[in-house]
């Protein structure tokens, strides 16, 4: 289905003709989460329009990397795209959790739960296979680049005006999905408010190559300034996620490469030998956000459009992947039963499923950051006692591990295939 099959309308101040092409649902945002939802609906019998503002090559080139938890890998296996991702990503078999220079280290391994702990993937390793998968889905029309300029929610449909190559088009849909990021224009236009706060911290992210093998081990070391994570990547590279107060983070990013590597080594330790900095380093502010509502009649929010959390534990992307799988299941079940997928009662089933689970993880990551990002002696004693128990009580250790990798909540049917 090409763009020429959409009804073109003139860019003028009068309301556009809304008799354009009709879809069952329109997804705004062709990032990893939007593509995951579109891919999950391949065999649903629903007609899907996916809209992405950036050109495909620019989206793939984003210099980011993510922890991909076990449940997320199962979802991608269920979709049928995991085999395309796997050759480009690294599996980690061990996680070492420590508190600054406290000698007791909690170590999680695959022996604890008899399954993989997780993976680390660069942005393009996830996005590109999803883009290719969606382009082979006969029920999905993929518009890229394109921009939504107006939405009108009516009783039975959503009217959506789309700008493509300086031309305006009108489409109608039973359901609109906002997968357009933390500053979601779709969410804001719908008047959905959010709760949360910006942290006193920013994150520095960078790629490094250690002298010695990383042995597929992920590290999470807590310093009083904030968490410090090391994630293994293919080619014996690592992704650094370094949290620090804003001014400190800016000052660290402003150092020359030699000075930056010296500071990095001081926190990283000597276990992997000399470090080599690969590419640029970036800094971004950390925030916690939860949308007051995930759904309205004919509208649903997923991924960062619905929530943001602290990067400790690498939860953010994984929550969005679970959102996409859950929403796909809810609307596909409704469609198969002959129900209206945009009906608020159907959509509330998705909200009930995901909102509380997401809030639990948001609260847990916030607690972790606040407990470990300070030097208040009573808190230090409590958290180190907690690490002592975690190291010595297998039931507690397994519970904590399963919570962090997504195996304690409701499992989407996609992950059971």
The model's pLDDT over 121-134, given as tens digits with 9 standing for 90+, comes to 999 999 999 999 99
Q: Tell me the pairing of strands 106-109 and 48-51.
A: unpaired
d(CA 292, CA 195): 7
Q: Report in angstroms the alpha-carbon separations of 168 from 16, 114, 117, 180, 190.
A: 9, 53, 47, 20, 21
pLDDT for 238 equals 93
Beta bridge partners, 229, equal 220, 241
User: What are the domain boundaries of the chain?
Assistant: 19-89+119-196+288-380, 208-287
| 19-89+119-196+288-380 and 208-287: identical CATH topology | no
CB 340 within 8 A of CB 25: no
Q: What is residue 17's predicted lDDT score, i.e. its pLDDT?
A: 37
Nearest CA to 332 out of 54, 3, 89, 39 is that of: 39
Query: Does the structural domain 208-287 have CATH classification 3.30.9.10?
Result: yes
Query: Which segments in the chain show pLDDT lower than 50?
Result: 1-19
Rounded to two decimals, the pTM is: 0.92
Would you state the pLDDT for residue 57? 65
CA distance 290 to 284: 19
C-beta separation of 60 from 131 below 8 A: yes
Cα(7)–Cα(186) distance, integer angstroms: 22
Give the pLDDT confidence score for residue 298 in this predicted structure. Answer: 98
| Predicted pLDDT at 58 | 63
The answer to whether 309 and 288 have CB atoms below 8 angstroms apart is: yes
Q: How high is the pLDDT of residue 400?
A: 87
Best CA proximity match to 271, nearest among 339, 214, 194, 200: 214
In the β-sheet with 194-210, what is the strand arrangement from edge to edge? Answer: 106-109, 94-99, 217-223, 226-233, 237-245, 194-210, 275-291, 307-308
φ and ψ at 144, to 5 degrees? -160, 115
Q: What angle do CA 357, 321, 83 make, to 5 degrees?
A: 140
Task: Mention the CATH class of domain 19-89+119-196+288-380.
Answer: alpha beta
Spatial separation of the C-alpha atoms in residues 127 and 324, rounded to whole Å? 15
DSSP-based three-state secondary structure for 371: helix
Q: What is the pLDDT of residue 408?
A: 84
With contact defined as beta carbons under 8 Å apart, do 306 and 179 qualify?
no
């Amino acid at each position: 289905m090409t763009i020429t099959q959409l009804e073109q309308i003139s860019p003028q101040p009068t309301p556009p003709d809304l008799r354009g092409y009709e879809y069952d649902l329109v997804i705004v945002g062709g990032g990893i989460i939007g593509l995951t939802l579109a891919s999950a609906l391949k065999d649903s019998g629903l007609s899907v329009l996916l809209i992405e503002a950036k050109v495909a090559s620019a989206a793939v080139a984003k210099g980011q990397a993510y922890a991909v938890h076990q449940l997320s890998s199962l979802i991608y296996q269920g979709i049928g795209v995991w085999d395309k991702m796997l050759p480009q990503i690294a599996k980690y078999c061990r996680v070492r959790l420590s508190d600054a220079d406290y000698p007791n280290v909690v170590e999680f391994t695959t022996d604890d739960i008899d399954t993989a702990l997780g993976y680390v993937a660069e942005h393009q390793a996830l996005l590109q296979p999803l883009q290719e998968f969606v382009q082979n889905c006969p029920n999905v029309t993929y518009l890229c680049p394109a921009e939504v300029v107006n939405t009108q929610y009516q009783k039975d449909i959503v009217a959506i005006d789309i700008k493509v190559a300086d031309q305006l088009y009108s489409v109608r849909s039973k359901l609109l999905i906002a997968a357009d990021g933390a500053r979601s224009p779709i969410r804001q236009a719908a008047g959905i408010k959010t709760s949360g706060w910006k942290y006193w911290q920013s994150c520095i992210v960078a790629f490094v190559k250690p002298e010695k093998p990383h042995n597929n081990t992920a590290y999470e070391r807590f310093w009083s300034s904030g968490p410090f994570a090391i994630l293994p990547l293919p080619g014996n590279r690592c992704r650094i996620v370094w949290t620090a107060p804003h001014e400190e983070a800016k000052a660290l990013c402003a150092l020359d490469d030699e000075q930056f590597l010296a500071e990095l080594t001081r926190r990283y330790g000597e276990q992997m030998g000399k470090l080599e900095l690969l590419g640029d380093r970036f800094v971004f502010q950390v925030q916690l956000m939860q949308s007051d509502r995930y759904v309205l009649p004919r509208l649903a929010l997923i991924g960062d459009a619905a929530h943001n959390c602290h990067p400790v534990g690498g939860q953010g992307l994984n929550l969005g992947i679970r959102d996409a799988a859950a929403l796909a299941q809810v609307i596909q079940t409704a469609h198969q039963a002959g129900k209206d997928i945009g009906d608020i009662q159907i959509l509330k089933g998705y909200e009930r499923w995901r909102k509380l689970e997401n809030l639990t993880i948001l609260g847990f990551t916030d607690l972790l950051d606040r407990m470990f990002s300070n030097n208040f002696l009573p808190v230090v004693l409590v958290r180190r006692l907690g690490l002592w128990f975690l190291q010595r009580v297998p039931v507690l250790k397994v519970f904590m591990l399963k919570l962090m990798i997504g195996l304690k909540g409701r499992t989407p049917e996609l992950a059971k295939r």
